[in-house]
Amino acid sequence: MKRREFIKNTGLGAGSILTAGSITAILAACNKNNMMNGGNMNMGGQPVPVTEGNFSRLLPIPNTVTGNTALTAQATMANINGSNISVLGYQANGILGPTIRVNSGINANINFQNNLSEKSNIHWHGLKIPANMDGHPEALINPASSFNYQFPINQRAGLCWYHPHPDGATAKQAFKGLAGLFIINDAEEAALNLPSGIYEIPLVIQDKRLTASGIAYNPSMGEVMSGYMGETVIVNGEASPYTEVATRFYRLRILNGSNARIYNLALSNNADLIIIGNDGGLLKNPIAVKNIILAPGERLDVLVNFAGLNIGTDIFLESKMFDNAGSAQGKQGFKIMKFKVTQTVSDGFTLPASLSSVNAISPSSSSKTRNFIINAMQMSSGMNMTGIHRINDKIYDKSRIDENVTANATEIWVFDNSQGDEPHPMHLHGVHFQVLERSGGRAQLLASESGWKDTVLVMPREIVKIIIPFSTLTGVFVFHCHNLEHEDDGMMLQYQLA
Ligand code: C2O
Ligand code: CU
Ligand code: CU
């Protein structure tokens, strides 16, 4: 059940005060609805266990297109885990759209044709582009209609992505298959001679709920709380895949394209993951770590060195258990995909000591601090049931501008989840930011959070402070939780840059 419909049905609006009576009414309505759907309540935010496959299917690599292309959202078929099932795609026969690869400085011109039976649009996640091209939740394209997305690429090399963003239907459309990568290259990156061609592997990690005929999307009330997770983890559209590798460095471009699931990525041989970039492009220096927490919407650019391994060795990319992430996340370790060493080669690549210039923005340059309480309404019925996901006690309202920001201003925004029980990956459209500080919870910044970000994970008990240099791209943009069930539930506000 969608929270918004639910509010409408119970007559509760954003400003309503919940009385004991209305809570009982909500619970009754909730139970009734779920009984009618035959669903389970899953009230406490239960984990959805992952079922590993046998890593016998080849990792698909999405086809690559230029910035002058066409995408058609459509109902189509995809072969996942050995079955041909109905999905949504941006091209025929598969769930992921093509990888759009452009050089910085070009003008993208992408014709979007909506052949779905409902409204949709495309948001270019991570791209700093004009508001009218950003895929705002109200800028929708009707079924059987098209729209030309045209925008200049004025940003450094990095891994962005695209997905639908219609108000209230983002989660469903994305979960059923609509997403794709958007890679920007530039001269600075090229000069590093990073592993490329077959040695640069895009990995879109998603969890899906597969049925015999398609991808199920019917979140219960509890699954709106925790976010909708699936039992099958797919990479580039295939369940538990493998890929063959040679004994050398590889560059993995990783997107967590899941609606809600957070991964704690690691290699099964405990080898280093060498982080060279994240949401906003290259880091200043490579940082070697053993594991990386990656929330929905976040991206990673990592180098992995398979040199010295024997032919026939299997290395798994896995997700390890993790703490501090509420009752539904991190409770299980599982394998995601397999790297099978099949070829011995010599590798001329040497890891550069320095990658890019990233200047830390001084907190003293901020002209304003904005505080955002991010949590869900607490209902004290003894069952620790959470309520409507909100930011500063507000749910998304298209007709309300929540924050007015001056063009070119630098601001500090604080996301306060100190009272919350759920992880919230907070994402801003239209900007990249730096993460300044995390207090509470994990109480530290991670290597993967250095450099430039557009999405930052705020775990329960945490307060995370970011600093944002706003640009001159004036207009109305949204910012929201990238747990897509939370986002569709209303955990999204608007800022206007003027
Ligand atoms: Cu991925 Cu609003 O965005
Ligand atoms: Cu975005
Ligand atoms: Cu959230």
Determine the pLDDT at residue 383: 41
Q: Does 396 fall in a domain? A: yes
Please tell me the number of the ligand nearest to residue 423's CA. 3
* 413: nearest Cα among 437, 396, 397: 437
Q: Does 389 fall in a domain? A: yes
> Which residue range(s) make up the domain with 414?
363-497
Dist. CA 274–CA 288, nearest whole Å:
4
Q: Does 481 fall in a domain? A: yes
**Residues 6+ positions from 80 with CB-CB distance below 8 Å:** 87, 95, 208, 210, 232, 234, 237, 238, 239
Q: Which residue has the tokens 């046998």?
A: 54
- Is 3 close to ligand 1, i.e. is its CB under 6 Å away? no
Q: Does 136 fall in a domain? A: no
| Total number of domains constituting the chain | 2
Give percent above pLDDT 70 in the chain. Answer: 89
Q: Does 475 fall in a domain? A: yes
- Is 299 close to ligand 1, i.e. is its CB under 6 Å away? no
- Is 427 close to ligand 1, i.e. is its CB under 6 Å away? yes
Dist. CA 167–CA 140, nearest whole Å:
9
| Residue 189 backbone zone (phi > 0: left; psi -120 to 50: alpha; other: beta) | alpha
Please tell me the number of the ligand nearest to residue 325's CA. 3
Average of pLDDT values for 300-317?
A: 98
**Per residue in 182-193, pLDDT tens?**
999 999 999 999
- Say whether pLDDT at 247 is over 60: yes
Dist. CA 76–CA 93, nearest whole Å:
6
Determine the pLDDT at residue 45: 79
The rounded Cα 233 to chain-centroid distance in angstroms is 15
Determine the pLDDT at residue 4: 42
Q: Does 405 fall in a domain? A: yes
Polymer length of the chain: 498
What are the strands of the beta sheet with 334-343, ordered from one edge? 57-58, 241-246, 334-343, 314-319, 263-267, 292-294
pTM here is 0.91
| Strand pairing class (463-469; 434-439) | antiparallel
- Is 166 close to ligand 1, i.e. is its CB under 6 Å away? no
Atom 3, ligand 1: residue with shortest CA distance: 125
Q: Does 493 fall in a domain? A: yes
**Per residue in 413-451, pLDDT tens?**
999 999 999 999 999 999 999 999 999 999 999 999 999
Q: Does 401 fall in a domain? A: yes
CATH number, domain at 487? 2.60.40.420
Q: Give me Rg for the CA atoms of the chain.
A: 22
Whole-Å CA distances, 459 to 102, 264, 371 = 34, 13, 16
